Amino acid sequence: MISLLKRPKPKIFEIEHSDIALNSQMFDLISKIESNLSKLAIVLKENDVAAKNAKLAELENSFLSLKSKVDTLLLDVRKIMSIEIQNKDFILVNDDAYLGDKQERLDKMSNILDELLELFNQRPAASELKADILQSIYQRINVLIDSINNIVNDDKSLEDTFSKIELL
């Protein structure tokens, strides 16, 4: 008798599917951060201390959310690596390099976010932000964007590979 029930997806597929949704949420957060940075630059020109502090608080919250998502992705990478170690016969794809790269990028993102959060906790003065801190923040944001782009592209490739395996 042929079973009409679809067999459950292995845990590794569920984790990767969840990660793809997180990637999209990270892009949304980055867009929000960039928008708030632009608004912060305008507020700095107006010398409005209350508005500056409000924008810094909004940015800090966005960075905290982004950090949470990066931490979740790091845990997921570790889970996938653990599943692979336990089920070497199941894994048909040699994705150790991919997972290592992803973990490296996520670690880098986590470190950058820690630096940014520390900066925002200090609530720098408007003059400090106008000087070079704002430019430094933009540079770090660009590194985060590059890392997210690389992770998304790698995840798409891995998802394609997983979907082919599922068809076997």
Q: What is the CATH classification number for the domain harbouring 66?
A: 1.20.120.340
pLDDT of 1 reads 47
Stronger pLDDT, 162 or 101, i.e. the higher one = 101
pLDDT band at 84 (very low <50, low <70, confident <90, very high): low
Question: Is 3 a domain residue?
Answer: no
* Element housing 163 (H / E): helix 134-167
pLDDT tens readout for residues 115-128: 999 988 888 888 88
Question: Is 110 a domain residue?
Answer: yes
> Rounded mean pLDDT of 86-92?
51
Give the global pTM.
0.77
Total count of domains within the chain: 1
Question: Is 2 a domain residue?
Answer: no
Question: Is 51 a domain residue?
Answer: yes
CB 119 within 8 A of CB 55: no
d(CA 32, CA 59): 9
Question: Is 48 a domain residue?
Answer: yes
CB 160 within 8 A of CB 100: no
Question: Is 151 a domain residue?
Answer: yes
Question: Is 30 a domain residue?
Answer: yes
pLDDT tens readout for residues 23-75: 788 888 888 888 888 888 888 888 888 888 898 889 899 999 999 999 998 88
pLDDT of 43 reads 85
d(CA 3, CA 25): 37
Question: Is 1 a domain residue?
Answer: no
pLDDT band at 89 (very low <50, low <70, confident <90, very high): very low
Q: Which domain, by its residues, includes 81?
A: 11-167
